[in-house]
Structure 1
Amino acid sequence: MTEITVIQNDQDHAQALAQLERLILADRDEDVPVMDALALLIDAYERKKFPIPALSPIEMIQFRMEQQNMSQAALARDTKIWRSHISEILNGHRGLSYNAIQKLHTTLDIPYAAFFDDNDQKAE
C-alpha cells in the first residue's frame, strides 16, 4: 500500500509529486483513490505556499475582455453601457452600479462574487 502523508515542506512536496507521477505512469485503476488523495494534498500545499491574489473587479473585466479579444467599444455595444462609462469604470473613475454588474456578468461571464471585495469584512 502506498503511504500518504501531509505535505509540510518543499521536500515532502517534491516526494508527493514524484509519487503521483509514478502512479499516473503505472496507469492502474486501483491507484485512482491514492492519486486523488495525493492531488488534493499537493493542491492544498501549493495554494498555501504559492497563493494567487484575487483580481479586483476591474482586473477581472480587463482579463475577460482580453480573453475574448474584446475592445471597449465592443463591450459597450454588447452591454449597452455607454462607451465613456466603460472607459471610466476601467480607469477607476466610476464605480460599478448594480445594473452594470448585471450586464458585465452576463456579457463577460464573470461570477457575481468577483464584483464584491469582502476584504473589508475580514478580521485581521
Structure 2
Amino acid sequence: MTLRPIRTKREHQAALKEIEALWEAPSGSPEADRLEVLTLLVEAYEREHYPIEAPDPIDFLQHVMESRAITRKDLEPYIGSRARVAEVMNRVRPLTLDMIRRLASGLNLPADVLIRGYELKRAA
C-alpha cells in the first residue's frame, strides 16, 4: 500500500490491517516508521469520520467522582454549599464560570469540558 491520505472505508480497513501486521516492528526500523505514518493517517481519517463528542459536564463530573472516590461534600469548596452542589449535580442550576474555574484548577479538570452547555431540569 502506497502511503497517502485515507479517503474511504476500504482504505481505512486496509490501513488498520497493516497496522496490526506491523505492530511488533522493531523501533527505528523502516517497518516502525511505516507503522508511525499509518497510525497518523488513520487518526486523521477517524478524527474526521468518527468524531468523539465531549461529554456532558455533569456526566463528566459524576465519572470523575466515581473514578477518584470523590463525594459531593468534596465538591463544596469548588461549587458552594451542600444545597448548591445538589442543585448543580441534579441539573437544577448550571455551573457558573467561577465554579468551572475552581473545579478546573482545584481538581485538575479540563475547563473546556465543564463549560459546555447542558440541559437543566425544568421547574415543576
What interval of TM-score do these two structures reach, taking the shorter chain for normalisation?
0.7 to 0.9
Contact 2:79 2:99 in 1 (8 A): no
Structure 2 Cα separation of the partners of residues 103 and 116 of structure 1: 12
Q: Tell me, which stretches of 5 or more residues in structure 2 are unaligned?
A: 118-124
Corresponding residue for residue 122 of structure 1: none
Residue 111 of structure 1 is matched in structure 2 by 110
Q: Which digits, 9 at most, give the CA deviation of each residue in 1:43-85, with x for residues without a partner? A: 1222233222221222222221122122212322x53721211
Question: Which residue does 1:59 correspond to in 2?
Answer: 59
In 2, Cα distance between equivalents of 1:88 and 1:34: 52
Distance in 1 of aligned mates of 2:10 and 2:45 = 12
Q: Which residue of 1 aligns with 2:9?
A: 10
Matched, 1:70 2:55: no
- Counting only pairs closer than 5 Å after superposition, residues 27-46 of structure 1 correspond to structure 2 as 27-31=26-30, 32-46=32-46
- Structure 1: state its 5+ residue gaps: 119-124
Tell me which residue corresponds to 2:120.
none
Using the aligned pairs only, state the percent identity: 28
Give the aligned residue type for 2:4.
Answer: T
Alpha carbons 1:61, 1:108 under 8 Å: kept: no
Aligned partners of 1:33, 1:26: CA distance in 2, in Å?
9
Amino acid at match of 2:24: L
Corresponding position of 2:122: none
Q: Is the 1:65–1:108 contact (alpha carbons within 8 Å) kept by the matching residues of 2? A: no
More helix by share: 1
Within 2, Cα distance between the matches of 1:98 and 1:41? 37
Number of aligned positions between the proteins: 116
**RMSD of the alignment, in Å?**
2.3
Give the TM-score, by structure 2 length. 0.75
Partner Cα separation in structure 1 for residue 17 and residue 26 of structure 2:
14
